[in-house]
Structure 1
Amino acid sequence: MKTSRIPGFYKKSVSERREVLKDLHSFTEEEAAALYAEAPLTGATADNMIENVIGTHPLPLGLGLNFQINGKDYIIPMAIEEASVVASASHIAKIVRNAGGFTAESTDRVMIGQIQVVGAPDLQKAKSTLLEARDQLIQGANDAYPSIVARGGGAEDLEVRILNESSESKYGQMLVLHLYINTCDAMGANIINTMVESIAPVVEDLTKGKVYLRILSNYADKSLASARCVIPPELLETGSYSGEEVRDGVVHAYEFAAMDPYRAVTHNKGIMNGIDPVVIATGNDWRAVEAGAHAYAARDGHYGSMTKWYADEEGNLVGELELPMSVGIVGGATRIHPMAKLSLGMMHIESARELAQVIVSVGLAQNLGALKALVTDGIQKGHMALHSRSVAIAAGASGEMIDVIAEQLIEEKEIRVGKAKELVEQHKK
């Protein structure tokens, strides 16, 4: 039976970790080749993905362990260069696992395409006309992309908004049509753009205005994913800190982020520390996910915390995270990049909705990992200990010397390149 609980995984070598993974996952020959290749993305493939290619730029790919979401175990690939993120998320996932795991939900994969109309002589009449032509416009959009309709998706509804109707500037007044499109398991950018472009001439004719922009919106607030965990305080006990102290510290830290944008930005960056690596590993558009997440954090007119933490009536710590999640499992880099295909296969992801649930669960775990560290020993203790290896390498250490220098840096509590260079020179003599 597959499990995400692999004790001592971090102590093993890279080759040993790969062997453990092979025992848990039945890799195809193609997947195994990608896993063992030092540069799985070839220059030829990269050249067909973007312009002016000169090479590739890999990131470390680690595994988030211990995750149990909706009763299913996940070993979660995370592509990231920052130390302590994978370890922190895995640590919290173990705690949550002992509390029953994460529960997660996601809505249908409904994305938004926008059509901007300016210069309509009567904005209210233009709005009414478009709403009356709803069925015609939806049918026209679906005719432009029949393959998504055949898969059970396609344009489903529309909405019309008037922006700045009272503005005296001719550039400020406009009408915007939102086309709601179920993109199934695709992120859907090409689907959406094709559909809105196809009906733009009809919109222009109906409104007697001029269409300028016709493009998707990355604010996917109709495609939401949420995760939740409930943790008894005794599972939060850390060193000299009682579980109740840790719980209360986390709630106070959340309240700080909820009220203060200066804190919220850093708080939310920590959440995205968990989310982005999974989005990147699976070949999805992390910029789109980032933009949508931060917009959602300000949906009430105030930028605050993406997560919510509170104590319930039984004294448990409860964490919740809900975000727009514009990710897919087909098309784009998910189909081309060998490591994206490997990452999705490793998690046995069956739908874009399931992937969204996994991603927000990792984001919630990473947030708690950061808050728990902040309210106990401080963020630097664990982070800098893990960072010491990178410092040793930057100072010129190699092979077995890396661990020796890293340990000395930790012992002397001077984790900086200058000190590491001194130690490297001493070891070379």
Structure 2
Amino acid sequence: MNVLSMPTAPVKGFSKLSKLEKIDFIADNYFSGSESVKTQFKRFWLNDENLQKTIDEFSENTLTNFIFPMGVVPNVLINGKLFCVPMVIEESSVVAASAKAANFWLTRGGFKAEVLGVKKVGQVHFIWNGETSKLENFFALKKAELLKAVEPLAANMVKRGGGIIDLRLVDRTKDEAGYYQLLGEFDTRDAMGANFINSILEKLGSTWKEMLLDAEDFTDTEKEMQVVMAILSNYTPECIVRSSVECDIADLNEPGLEMDAHEFAEKFSRAIRISKIDVTRATTHNKGIFNGIDAVVIATGNDFRAVEACGHAYAARDGQYRGLSNVEIKDGKFRFSLDIPMAIGAVGGLTSLHPMSKLSLDMLGRPGAEELMKVVATIGLAQNFGAVRSLVTSGIQKGHMKMHLMNILNHLEASEEEREKAKVHFANEVISFQSVREFIASLRNYV
């Protein structure tokens, strides 16, 4: 495939081109007009035109669909209820590790999960110059009126049991001259609630500005207020869920552990402590947790970027970035847990529009947001247990590379016969790209 260098002149009006015209432009300017490139883009279009139109409208300048596998983890026992959890991820070892952990804990009481809080926040960030105490007194006087102004926007959410929990004035002038916030706290029930929160905040900002302009005992300078922005925060440390497992240390024993249960528990515990001490380990530790979390968040049509950004910020909440999971060994018991912010929704957005997201939520029994939080956090904990267990026993590569073997064989375009022989050969051999390539080459040379 002949790939060209970048065009020297920018394209104008690209977004107004049809999808076919966009593909032609890409092919002509980056691939020498290659018909095979055009065919490849169109190869992944859906036959259902209406469904394809829906998918196209999820994004902008859409050319085609990018396919990811959707797998499941069965036998996930949470609070006595059995789930089959969908995961969208391209790394097979993640699904395998989660499934193995789920089966391990299935016979040891399963996972326990609870939502510790559902509060979400957003701010009107504004600049005002004057005496702070005067602004605070004015806010106290006008708070009820401010909340009254957004009642029409909040009415439907209030009917569902949610709405605005509180509104506060926050003084940040020590950090930035004249900088204040109207900080809103929200309960958005089963919705993630971004649009709801942002609409409320923008109305609060404009109403607050009008109130200051109309304030009779304020000087002209004090009546001037600049709204910098009004936006929800993806940092939600009070919208948090806990998932945990617990058993007698002796019950950690199983075939293939290669050490006694007490040694395993101590090695496992030390690995978790290291993730609290060393940022380089903490980063990889938490990445493993989000391997599981992101896969379920994507499958259910939620925003994995928001969930992950919040989780990483939460991991650094005391000033040092640390591992998110916790372990306790006490009185002969092993307890492993994860507390993590989880602002997701079970209604609205892609959860209602994407057919596979709807199917995923149906598979989970149409959970509300709180139950979905429990499921997602539990898969994060299961994945972390599986990863750390491998690290402190056989090592991560043994299982990971066995799962990766199929990817290597696909890359080498191995036949079905070659695949089967490779599976047998590498059952107890070290797997690397080089070793697999040499094995396949030896088969082909022999023939």
How does the TM-score come out when normalised to structure 2? 0.81
What secondary structure sits across from 1:84 in the alignment? helix
What secondary structure sits across from 1:65 in the alignment? strand
Larger deviation, residues 330-339 vs 222-231: 222-231
Structure 2: stretches of 5+ with no match in the other structure: 1-44, 213-222
Match of residue 297 from structure 1: 315
Q: Which amino acid aligns with 2:125?
A: Q
| CA separation of 1:133 and 1:398: change in aligned 2, threshold 3 A | farther
Matches within 5 A, 1:170-249: 170=177, 173-206=178-211, 208=223, 209-237=225-253, 238-249=256-267
Q: Which amino acid aligns with 1:316?
A: K
Match of residue 260 from structure 1: 278
Q: Which amino acid aligns with 2:174?
A: S
Equivalent of 2:84, from 75, 82, 86? 75
| CA separation of 1:197 and 1:227: change in aligned 2, threshold 3 A | same
Match of residue 63 from structure 1: 72
Larger deviation, residues 114-123 vs 293-302: 114-123
What secondary structure sits across from 2:92 in the alignment? coil
Cα displacement string for residues 7-36 of structure 1 (whole angstroms, at most 9, x for unaligned residues): xxxxxxxxxxxxxxxxxxxxxxxxxxxxxx
Structure 1: stretches of 5+ with no match in the other structure: 1-36
Deviation at 1:250, TM superposition (A): 0.9
| CA separation of 1:240 and 1:137: change in aligned 2, threshold 3 A | same
Match of residue 168 from structure 2: 159
Match of residue 384 from structure 2: 367
Deviation at 1:398, TM superposition (A): 4.3
Match of residue 386 from structure 1: 403
Cα displacement string for residues 134-157 of structure 1 (whole angstroms, at most 9, x for unaligned residues): 322223223224222222211121
What secondary structure sits across from 1:239 in the alignment? coil
| CA separation of 1:277 and 1:369: change in aligned 2, threshold 3 A | same
Deviation at 1:379, TM superposition (A): 0.7
Larger deviation, residues 90-99 vs 229-238: 229-238
Is 1:141 equivalent to 2:154 in the alignment?
no
Q: Which amino acid aligns with 1:142?
A: E
Cα displacement string for residues 278-305 of structure 1 (whole angstroms, at most 9, x for unaligned residues): 0000000000000111111111122111
Match of residue 367 from structure 2: 350
What secondary structure sits across from 1:345 in the alignment? helix
How far apart, in 2, do the equivalents of 1:292 and 1:403 lie? 44
Q: Which amino acid aligns with 1:334?
A: T
- Paired residues of 2:250 and 2:262 also in contact (CA < 8 A): yes
Is 1:50 equivalent to 2:66 in the alignment?
no
Computed over aligned residues only, the root mean square deviation of the Cα atoms, in angstroms, reads 2.2
Deviation at 1:331, TM superposition (A): 0.7
Q: Which amino acid aligns with 2:228?
A: Y
Is 1:93 equivalent to 2:102 in the alignment?
yes
| CA separation of 1:354 and 1:131: change in aligned 2, threshold 3 A | farther
- Paired residues of 2:240 and 2:339 also in contact (CA < 8 A): yes
Match of residue 31 from structure 1: none
- Paired residues of 2:117 and 2:241 also in contact (CA < 8 A): no
What secondary structure sits across from 1:133 in the alignment? helix
What secondary structure sits across from 2:336 in the alignment? strand
| CA separation of 1:189 and 1:166: change in aligned 2, threshold 3 A | closer
Identity across the alignment (%): 35
Cα displacement string for residues 144-200 of structure 1 (whole angstroms, at most 9, x for unaligned residues): 24222222211121222222x235x64xx4111211121111111111111101111
How far apart, in 1, do the equivalents of 2:149 and 2:416 lie? 62
Q: Which amino acid aligns with 1:97?
A: L
Cα displacement string for residues 382-407 of structure 1 (whole angstroms, at most 9, x for unaligned residues): 11111111111111124453343344
- Paired residues of 2:161 and 2:189 also in contact (CA < 8 A): yes
How far apart, in 2, do the equivalents of 1:92 and 1:140 lie? 50
How far apart, in 1, do the equivalents of 2:436 and 2:47 lie? 29
Q: Which amino acid aligns with 2:72?
A: L
| CA separation of 1:91 and 1:380: change in aligned 2, threshold 3 A | same
Deviation at 1:38, TM superposition (A): 8.7
Give the number of the structure whose alpha-carbon radius of gyration is greater. 2
How far apart, in 2, do the equivalents of 1:411 and 1:399 lie? 20
Aligned pairs, how many? 387
Larger deviation, residues 91-100 vs 102-111: 102-111
